[in-house]
Amino acid sequence: MRNIHSIDDLRSRARRRLPAMVFDFIEGGALDELTLRRNREALDAHLLPQRVLVDTSQRHATTSILGTRLDLPLVVSPMGLLTVCHPDADVAVARAAAAAGSVFVHSPWSGCSLDEVADAAPGRTWAQIAFWNDAAETDRHIDRARGLGVETLVVAGDVAVSSKRDRDLRHGTGMPPRPPLRDVVDTALHPAWVMRWLRGRSMTWGNYRIDGRAIRMREMEAWMLRNENQTATWDDIARLRRRWKGNIVVKGVMSSEDARLAVEHGADGVFVSNHGGRQFDSQQATIEALPGIVDAVDRRATVIVDGGMRRGSDIAKAISLGADAAAAGRPFALGLAAGAQPGVARAFEVLHDELLTVMGFLGVTRIEDIPCTLIDTAGPRLGAIVAAPAAAEAAS
């Protein structure tokens, strides 16, 4: 990991190590990938104001959200099927996250069971749940989370409709995969990945069971079709509120209206996310939606945002626009593919170091002192200094 200096370095290494169909599964987005690109473009369009001659020798990035102390305001977003990156999968990512003082969100579509992950990262594992057609399946999931001492549930809010990802369709990446010949050849040219795949953890869904055993790859599609639920509503959040005493975070919130509804239905946290551009293409970048959502939440809930975070400065921008913490997916999946647990640990190290450096230039020693002013270079407001919600409020 000595030659890894950025998330982009991890990405290059992961690209070399993974067959193209796996790399594209991680990296790709829906349709024309407009939203995927926009997440990055919107972050790039915001610049931060430098300050000088401030004593920043004692700076640190610690913070606390939903009762969990973090060494940096960064959480691992839930990701399904990480087993394709490396057989150590979620266990490696969760361990690296815990060691870095972060939190790992376990996905319902994970290859590892929640039990295995919570065991690997006690106190640092949150559980994502989905409202399945078979409500008993969801209830069992919630009960297991409670039994394992998990304190925070993250509700998958944006999965009622399945997206179309052209890269996956071209590679035949389904469950089970049906790759064209060129991908079979390309995969054969990655023997280390093939050996890990053959010898490592088998490709299952770790969380749900058929006949008492984990769901196998060839059974996933049928299980998914049976359980996909397009009828979930805010009433399900209200019902969840009644049965779950811990924290509830709703993921996939991209509008002020939904942020308000989440709070009104008892959510403790709002997770601003467009699924990293993997679900609904042609929508806003998360960083564009964030200020309105922060205003709507009005400090009644914790706000987390993901989508395109690749530098410490991106985390600082998210905080600057009013988020309590940022989150990221692909940087950790790519770290896992590039170098198992040490690869994920390196992703955390890089982002933590970059964030501390940015804080030095911003002239702050604590996360809560990151200024609420960004320099927005995009569009007609070229060069204008825009005030983020908190700053605007303070000024009025």
Ligand X SMILES: Cc1cc2nc3c(=O)[nH]c(=O)nc-3n(C[C@H](O)[C@H](O)[C@H](O)COP(=O)(O)O)c2cc1C
Least distance (Å) from ligand X to the CB of residue 61?
18
Asked if 152 is part of the footprint of ligand X (rule: CB under 6 A), the reply reads: no
The residue count for binding ligand X (CB under 6 A) is 23
Long-range residue pairs from 168-175, CB within 8 A, at least 24 positions apart, any chain: 168/24, 168/25, 168/28, 171/20, 171/21, 171/24, 171/25, 172/21, 173/21, 173/24, 173/25, 174/221, 175/217, 175/218, 175/220, 175/221, 175/224
Q: Which stretch binds ligand X (CB under 6 A): 143-151, 228-236, 305-313, 343-351?
A: 305-313
Determine which residue in the list 15, 80, 160, 244 makes contact with ligand X, applying CB under 6 A: 80
- Are 201 and 83 contacting, i.e. CB atoms less than 8 angstroms apart? yes
Q: Which of 269, 322, 329, 389 binds ligand X (CB under 6 A)?
A: 329
Q: What angle do CA 77, 124, 136 make, to 5 degrees?
A: 70
Q: Is 95 in the site for ligand X (CB under 6 A)?
A: no
What tokens does 105 get? 């969100």
Q: Which stretch binds ligand X (CB under 6 A): 41-49, 161-169, 229-237, 322-330?
A: 322-330
CB 278 within 8 A of CB 36: yes
Write down the least CB distance from residue 127 to ligand X, Å. 11
Looking at the Cβ atoms of 167 and 241, the one nearer to ligand X is: 167
Residues facing residue 326 across a β-bridge: 74, 305
275 is catalytic: yes
Angle between helices 7-17 and 330-362 (to 10 degrees): 170
Residue 77 contacts ligand X per CB under 6 A: yes
Question: Which CA distances in Å does 244 have to 120, 142, 154, 268?
Answer: 23, 8, 12, 12
Q: What pairs with residue 325 in β-bridges?
A: 304
Binding residue for ligand X, selected from 19, 101, 111, 307, defined by CB under 6 A: 307
Site membership for ligand X, residue 129 (CB under 6 A): no
- Which of the ranges 54-62, 138-146, 303-311, 338-346 carries the binding residues for ligand X, by CB under 6 A? 303-311
Asked whether 315 and 327 are in contact (CB, 8 A), the reply is: no
Binding to ligand X (CB under 6 A) within 14-73 occurs at 26, 39
The SS3 assignment for 319 reads helix
DSSP 78: P
**Cα 4 from Cα 343, distance rounded (Å):** 9
Considering 46, 86, 141, 275, which one is annotated as catalytic?
275
**Of 254 and 359, which has the nearer Cβ to ligand X?**
254
When binding is defined by CB under 6 A, the residue of 23, 104, 109, 132 that contacts ligand X is 109
Q: How far is the CB of 195 from ligand X (least distance, A)?
A: 22
| Closer CB to ligand X, 318 or 388, in the complex | 318
Q: Which residue is nearest to ligand X (CB)?
A: 329
Question: Known catalytic residues?
Answer: 275
User: What residues make contact with ligand X under the rule CB under 6 A?
Assistant: 26, 39, 77-80, 107, 109, 128, 156, 251, 273, 275-276, 278, 306-309, 328-330, 333
